[in-house]
Structure 1
Amino acid sequence: MARKQSDYLAGLLADDEPAPAPAPSSAPEAAIIAPVPAPAASTPSPAPLPSPARERLRGTTLLGRESALARVASGEVRQVTQLLLNPARVRIWPGNARSYAHLSEESCRELIDSIVAEGGQKVPAVVRRVEGDPDYDYEVIAGTRRHWSISWLRAHSYPDMMFVAQVAVLDDEAAFRLADLENRARKDVSDLERARNYAAALKSHYGNHLTRMAERLKLSKGWLSKMLKVASLPDVVIQAFASPADVQLKPGYTLAQALDDKAAAPAILAKAKSLARDQKMRRDHGLAQWNATEVVRQLIEAPRASNGAAAEPWTWTTNHGRPALTIQSANRQGVTIRLHSGSGASHDDLATALRQALDHLEAEGRGLQR
């Protein structure tokens, strides 16, 4: 809460005489309305004012309070109440772009450390009330990472940590615009997450009217069109990447356009399946996975390679980026494979590389079983 607003609310809610400190609340939900800081213990109490001066001060205080109340009533100043919630009673709104399932201690580490260092969550999330669900009282519109981090802290040595939120009254379209506005400033929300979120919102909130959606979100129609094109990428292509977060707008749009070519699409999809198996095998064996640039290159070149055009040979590399095995040729007479010396690969690594090479050839229709 801003300093001026905090001071204003403190003056608005303060009594003429100091109020006793409230007893600690054991309820799972509590409201915070700009607490007034207590004076330091070492500050001497001022001498009592003479009666006329005290009356003048009281009159000034009452006039100021009436003026403040009038500003609130007119809408010039809005009083915001923050709630302390148990995150277990707060669900995640499915209309948000961020994937809650992909959040982890590693991805939220910086936020977790910040919450601990500051003694609690300082920036409130935005939630709205839930009706008719016995398990939840609110749902998060903006603040998914904060909810995950507080939940993690409560399960790891901070059981009293509370989720700080303010309640907003929003319909689904307004909630989507609010969540999207916050996610635009978040680098950890991938282009693919946003693209699929836009695609769902286009149908749910805007009746498939692209122009209307672009106007409501204050976005370029051309840029939004490209994002929606990326959202059309099939899951088999996404699985070819080490992580869905690797699918960025520019290369993703290029891939989506390439898939529009009915002649090229089968080769791209076959290559994607091969790369997905390759990535899984590398992940299972603790090996470095293909980066996004390499994945896009192999997918784009797949149609040319399937037509017999010259393409770079398939190579298996170690975690240190050294080539260990390369497919030099594959024809009806057999497959020629080169094992590179000095790669540092163990016998087990080479056996894994050979299996992946055979799977790669099989997916391209050049396997030994043809």
Structure 2
Amino acid sequence: MARKQSDYLKELLSSEPDGPATPPAAERVRPTTLLSRESALARVQSGQTRQVTQHLLDPARVRVWPGNARIYAQLNEQNCRELIDSIIAEGGQKVPAVVRRVTDDPAYDYEVVAGTRRHWSVQWLRNHSYPDLRFLAQVANLDDEAAFRLADLENRARQDVSDIERARNYASALTLHYDGKQKRMAERLRVSPGWLSKMLQVANIPDNILAAFSSWHDVQLKPAYNLARALGNTDAAERIAVAATRLAQEQAEARKQGHEGPSASEVMRRLLHAAQNDAASMNEAPIEIRSALGRVAMSVQSVNRQGITIRLHTGAGADTDEYLSGLKDILERLRASGKIF
């Protein structure tokens, strides 16, 4: 996390007093030596530092605040593996999460404001050979708007939170915390109004279009903003949806075969190309060549004045002769359609 962001995080937390209640003494993390304890107390008494108590909690008694951008349901062993290994190697969680107290649900004592992956990883480890592992957290007294700002600040330093997740989180927060006022929201988050406006437009990209990508994490803000603008045109949106459906099928087929599907840049190029084409050409069936196994071996990606782009699909089971025959077939079909001479 950048220094300014780190300072802002400390400032935000220090401006909110801890709640009145504290967990049992056994759950508090204390200094390991008398000397370190006396030194810490001296600094607190002198006003040099603010005392922050960390707690070791049962993760089953901690829920996840829905106002965070990260989608908890999308966390799994694979995308949390590095953190899981770190917790095991270090003998426990080293960086505390930030939680706030829960009063509206007897099943929980706290909810996570920042530290969703840490909560998931500790919970996973408790279910896999580490039943006594505790969730390290510090308690903050935050209202929803302050909690949103704190969570957003942490997420900006995390590459594993996609721009789509953040954009949708911003769109929700705009209504919940800022009465739809983008300027005020930008001021509170300390971001430029123009950047925030782009994020909010990206939030409008529907799931059926995002399904064209192998992962939401592949969708970056700048090209996504261009796609969101293209979707603002009704006719273009329909053509983009057709192209997205085809791409989603390609992605599904690639996953089935254990291969990588179209890259994010290729997906974006094809979606934006669909937006620029006329409806008649987009409604034409794509030119594809299938192998003897019935799998797509070759497909025409684009035909324009610069040339013809043909994709060779791996995992189709086609041999060299099939590819050469397929290429000849494609050229003949393009000539017959009048697209090349």
Tell whether the structures are fold-level matches, with TM greater than 0.5: yes
Q: Which structure's relative contact order is higher, taking Cα pairs within 8 Å and 6+ residues apart?
A: 2
1:308 matched to 2:305: no
SS at match of 2:235: coil
Taking the aligned partners of 1:244 and 1:65, their CA distance within structure 2 comes to 45
RMSD: 3.5
Taking the aligned partners of 1:65 and 1:111, their CA distance within structure 2 comes to 29
Q: Against the structure 1 CA distance between its residues 38 and 115, is the aligned structure 2 distance closer, same or farther, given a 3 Å change threshold? A: farther
Q: Against the structure 1 CA distance between its residues 34 and 344, is the aligned structure 2 distance closer, same or farther, given a 3 Å change threshold? A: closer
SS at match of 2:91: coil
Which amino acid in 2 is paired with 1:345? A
| Alignment-derived partner of residue 118 in structure 1 | 90
| Alignment-derived partner of residue 195 in structure 1 | 167
1:161 matched to 2:158: no
Which amino acid in 2 is paired with 1:346? G
Measured after TM superposition, the shift of residue 38 of structure 1 is: 8.9
Measured after TM superposition, the shift of residue 239 of structure 1 is: 1.1
Q: Deviations along 1:127-183, whole A, 9 cap, x unmatched?
A: 000013121110000111111111111111111111000100000000000001111
1:184 matched to 2:156: yes
SS at match of 2:185: helix
| Alignment-derived partner of residue 61 in structure 2 | 89
Taking the aligned partners of 1:68 and 1:327, their CA distance within structure 2 comes to 70
Q: Deviations along 1:343-364, whole A, 9 cap, x unmatched?
A: 77327xx9xxx9xxxxxxxxxx
Measured after TM superposition, the shift of residue 104 of structure 1 is: 1.6
Q: Against the structure 1 CA distance between its residues 174 and 302, is the aligned structure 2 distance closer, same or farther, given a 3 Å change threshold? A: same
Measured after TM superposition, the shift of residue 308 of structure 1 is: 3.4
Q: Against the structure 1 CA distance between its residues 292 and 317, is the aligned structure 2 distance closer, same or farther, given a 3 Å change threshold? A: farther
Measured after TM superposition, the shift of residue 70 of structure 1 is: 4.6
Q: Against the structure 1 CA distance between its residues 325 and 172, is the aligned structure 2 distance closer, same or farther, given a 3 Å change threshold? A: same
Q: Deviations along 1:234-290, whole A, 9 cap, x unmatched?
A: 111111111111111011101011111223221111221222233223323323211
1:346 matched to 2:317: yes
Taking the aligned partners of 1:294 and 1:314, their CA distance within structure 2 comes to 17
Measured after TM superposition, the shift of residue 117 of structure 1 is: 1.2
Measured after TM superposition, the shift of residue 68 of structure 1 is: 6.0
Q: Against the structure 1 CA distance between its residues 316 and 289, is the aligned structure 2 distance closer, same or farther, given a 3 Å change threshold? A: farther
Q: Against the structure 1 CA distance between its residues 28 and 307, is the aligned structure 2 distance closer, same or farther, given a 3 Å change threshold? A: farther
Taking the aligned partners of 1:217 and 1:147, their CA distance within structure 2 comes to 25
- Contact 1:230/1:256 (8 A) holds in 2: yes
Indicate which of 32, 36, 52 corresponds to 2:29. Answer: 32
- Contact 1:28/1:86 (8 A) holds in 2: no
Q: Against the structure 1 CA distance between its residues 143 and 219, is the aligned structure 2 distance closer, same or farther, given a 3 Å change threshold? A: same
- Contact 2:54/2:139 (8 A) holds in 1: yes
SS at match of 1:264: helix
Q: Against the structure 1 CA distance between its residues 69 and 209, is the aligned structure 2 distance closer, same or farther, given a 3 Å change threshold? A: closer
Q: Against the structure 1 CA distance between its residues 89 and 146, is the aligned structure 2 distance closer, same or farther, given a 3 Å change threshold? A: same
Q: Against the structure 1 CA distance between its residues 270 and 308, is the aligned structure 2 distance closer, same or farther, given a 3 Å change threshold? A: closer
Taking the aligned partners of 1:130 and 1:66, their CA distance within structure 2 comes to 29
- Contact 1:29/1:86 (8 A) holds in 2: no
Taking the aligned partners of 2:44 and 2:35, their CA distance within structure 1 comes to 23
Indicate which of 104, 107, 121 corresponds to 2:76. Answer: 104
Equivalence map 1:287-366=2 (5 Å)? 287-303=259-275, 304=277, 306-308=279-281, 324-326=297-299, 345-346=316-317
Taking the aligned partners of 1:95 and 1:170, their CA distance within structure 2 comes to 13
SS at match of 1:104: coil
Q: Against the structure 1 CA distance between its residues 28 and 252, is the aligned structure 2 distance closer, same or farther, given a 3 Å change threshold? A: farther
5+ residue gaps, structure 2, are 1-23, 303-309, 327-341
Taking the aligned partners of 1:88 and 1:28, their CA distance within structure 2 comes to 19
- Contact 1:279/1:289 (8 A) holds in 2: yes
Indicate which of 196, 199, 203 corresponds to 1:224. Answer: 196
Indicate which of 246, 255, 264 corresponds to 1:283. Answer: 255
SS at match of 2:129: coil
Normalised by the size of structure 1, how large is the TM-score?
A: 0.68
| Alignment-derived partner of residue 230 in structure 2 | 258
- Contact 1:28/1:84 (8 A) holds in 2: no
| Alignment-derived partner of residue 330 in structure 2 | none
- Contact 2:259/2:314 (8 A) holds in 1: no
5+ residue gaps, structure 1, are 1-26, 40-60, 330-337, 355-370
SS at match of 1:166: strand
Measured after TM superposition, the shift of residue 221 of structure 1 is: 0.6
1:143 matched to 2:140: no
Q: Against the structure 1 CA distance between its residues 137 and 317, is the aligned structure 2 distance closer, same or farther, given a 3 Å change threshold? A: farther
| Alignment-derived partner of residue 238 in structure 1 | 210
- Contact 2:93/2:135 (8 A) holds in 1: yes
| Alignment-derived partner of residue 174 in structure 1 | 146
Which amino acid in 1 is paired with 2:29? I
Which amino acid in 2 is paired with 1:268? I
SS at match of 1:140: strand
Q: Deviations along 1:195-241, whole A, 9 cap, x unmatched?
A: 11111000100000000000000001101100111001111111111
Measured after TM superposition, the shift of residue 77 of structure 1 is: 3.3
